[in-house]
Amino acid sequence: MHFIYSIIVAIAGLLLQIVAVFVPKIKLFVSGREGVFPTLKAKIKTEDKTIWFHAASLGEYEQGLPVIEKIKEKYPTHKIIVSFFSPSGYEVRKNNTVADVTVYLPLDTINNAKKFIELVHPEMAFFIKYEFWPNYLSELKKRNIPTYLISGIFREKQAFFRWYGGFYRKALESFTHFFVQNESSLQLLQRLGIQNATISGDTRFDRVASIVEKNNSLDYIGRFKANKTTIVIGSSWPKDEELLLDYINSSTQDCKFIIAPHNIKPEQIQYFKSNCTKKTLLFSEKENKDMANYDVFIIDTIGILTKIYSYADIAYVGGGFGHPGVHNILEPATFGIPIVIGPNYSHFAEAIDLVRLGGCISIKNSEQLNAILNELIVDSESRKCKGSISTNFVQNNAGAVARIMKKI
């Protein structure tokens, strides 16, 4: 099975090179990997001490960031190596300041795994949440390199727990320890006879809990807000924007709207702006403008949404009308504000819990959206109560990093 798997990966690599000619994102995926080994050779010396972290994409990187920072603090003389599988993670965080070297992870062939680990020669390896690459894990085990899974999530439908999953179950034997998010993940591992696992919780709570201690000021957001009730719409998709555009156009409330789309496609942003009847300004057009005179501010850039949430009185987090569902609700929650989301959130434990507690409200249609936004705008006590639930939820679930560091 191992041989068949390696053949399939090699064939997939060849097919991706063909597809890359037609698909820009795949082109990044392929071309970005071409310089990995020369980069590692240039930036890592044989005598360097290193620690390797692997993240599938941006969300996993953000999830692992609190642990990366603590490891860097504990081992200041080691070089931190971060690898990404997806372009959406690498391209956004390739210039991060926490890692000494940031690269794509080459495809999981036997030769790539041997060469990568030989060049990186980590003293420890960390995989974040998931991404179980059998050849890399096998090579780590052969070299007796301590390997950890952090913020792990396991589900019944994964191959490990199916009758045909023996090959993938074998890969799990490479891990020194599993730090999982919840009891169900722990029980699934124990069902396989794996005992080297503990519940640490979700490191994302630690990351977002620390955000409020940082400088989140953006003077232009303050000028736009002008002390008015402000609704921040984060990571929105077209379906979210359709409902919200109707609300914004029909609203008689004295409030302001900031919208940060998930995809900053010019045509999508222009459509929203053209169809918005309120006075609207783009981030890219803000220079020399009296921002207090505008009602809607569209963020046609990336990387500042977290800070913008600090100015929100109410947050709408997008993605809840698509699959797998809603985007990150913890960032607005940490700032103590009520959150509104769409109906699809069943894949996200934090959303399920916060909806149950009342800090987050799920809506299914425009009528429900209009009703809850009007209520939250008018009723400051309701906003305050739901906001307190949100921030307490984050604070009460923090601590995963400390539990991981103690065990390591």
**DSSP 3-state percent helix, strand, coil across the chain (nearest 5):** 50, 15, 35
Q: Please provide the DSSP assignment of 313-369 as one string.
A: SEEEE--TTSSS-----HHHHHTT--EEE-S--TT-HHHHHHHHHTSEEE--SHHHH
pLDDT value at residue 165 = 85
pLDDT value at residue 24 = 85
> For residue 306, what are its two tokens?
């977290």
pLDDT value at residue 10 = 84
d(C-alpha 33, C-alpha 109), whole Å: 13
pLDDT value at residue 304 = 94
d(C-alpha 235, C-alpha 316), whole Å: 9
| C-alpha of 185 from chain center | 20
Q: Residues in the chain with pLDDT < 70?
A: none
CB 388 within 8 A of CB 187: no
Beta strand 197-199 with 177-180 is parallel
d(C-alpha 389, C-alpha 397), whole Å: 12
> For residue 2, what are its two tokens?
């191992």
Beta-carbon contacts of 158 under 8 Å, excluding residues fewer than 6 positions away, are: 165, 168
CB 102 within 8 A of CB 120: no
CB 314 within 8 A of CB 231: yes
d(C-alpha 152, C-alpha 166), whole Å: 19
| Rg of the chain on CA atoms, in Å | 23
Beta-carbon contacts of 290 under 8 Å, excluding residues fewer than 6 positions away, are: none
| C-alpha of 10 from chain center | 29
CB 335 within 8 A of CB 310: yes
Among residues 140, 118, 126, 156, which one has the least CA distance to residue 55? 126
| C-alpha of 82 from chain center | 15
CB 125 within 8 A of CB 70: no
pLDDT value at residue 130 = 83
Q: Please provide the DSSP assignment of 79-146 as one string.
A: EEEEEESSHHHHHHHTT-SS-SEEEEPPPS-HHHHHHHHHHH-EEEEEEES----HHHHHHHHHTT--
Q: Which helix (H) or strand (E) holds 296?
A: strand 296-298
| C-alpha of 100 from chain center | 21
pLDDT value at residue 30 = 86
pTM score, whole prediction? 0.83
